[in-house]
Structure 1
């Protein structure tokens, strides 16, 4: 499922507070999404539309199987922090400012990152270190 950066942020925010897909589904089906906006600044209308369009894909996205349509460098940094608990001190910015380097992660996380990034991003591995750039 291809989603916006904001949709990815919303999914990752809800997963860490911790909401399961079933709980979100229940809130949507019972028209109780207002319970989320009482706690978080999220667009519940957009979230409901995604669910209504394809609940199965939304469930897959909640499980981490999504691709972000357009990823910015700051968006990437935020998603790495939110989804993989990768902090700023675990990589270096490329001198050109168009990516990250010296990221040391396991192969499973690498595959998840590769699957999440939009097609304009390149991922290169040099031994133990990963570089992500546009």
Structure 2
């Protein structure tokens, strides 16, 4: 299956909503019904109109939310922010260098999720693997 490509800002919006405890089903239903008033209380600075725009193509929107997405272009800060939003991985969990992140210990689900959303300008190199974690380097180029 080919994943839909979205912008980094669209990914931030989706993952910010999810990171505040909103399920995929609620995200889909409230967006399709243009009823995000409850979210405005917990996320007052977000503009939910972009979600409504994406949801104009209902099948596309459902696929992005349920099946996942690939980001068109991820920056270094974008990668760091998505790791934090999507997986609660902060800067204490890796070493940042000029062109990437080193020694990131993650589980298989996190690895699959990162591989899924990461744009083509990034590469993931497995360094070490044990029963519960995989140590990876994520670099540009």
Aligned mates of 2:105, 2:31 — CA distance in 1: 38
Aligned mates of 1:30, 1:124 — CA distance in 2: 42
Match of 1:43 among 9, 28, 47: 47
Structure 1 residues 113, 34: CA separation in 2 closer, same or farther (over 3 Å shift)? same
Contact 2:102 2:136 in 1 (8 A): yes
Length-normalised TM-score, structure 2: 0.81
Aligned mates of 1:103, 1:64 — CA distance in 2: 25
Q: How does 1:81-100 map to 2 (within 5 A)?
A: 81-94=84-97, 97-100=98-101
Whichever structure has more strand as a proportion of its residues is: 2
Length-normalised TM-score, structure 1: 0.84
Structure 2 unaligned blocks of 5 or more: 130-134
Match of 2:111 in 1: 110
Aligned mates of 2:27, 2:105 — CA distance in 1: 33
Shift of 1:81: 0.8
Match of 2:5 among 2, 14, 37: 2
Aligned mates of 2:25, 2:15 — CA distance in 1: 15
Structure 1 residues 28, 114: CA separation in 2 closer, same or farther (over 3 Å shift)? closer
Match of 1:67 in 2: 70
Match of 2:34 among 31, 53, 69: 31
Match of 1:133 in 2: 139
* RMSD value, Cα: 1.9
**SS of alignment partner, residue 56 of structure 1:** helix
Residues 62-82 of structure 1: per-residue CA shift (max 9 Å, x gap): 246111111011110110011
Structure 1 unaligned blocks of 5 or more: none
Match of 2:56 in 1: 52
Say how many residue pairs are matched: 131
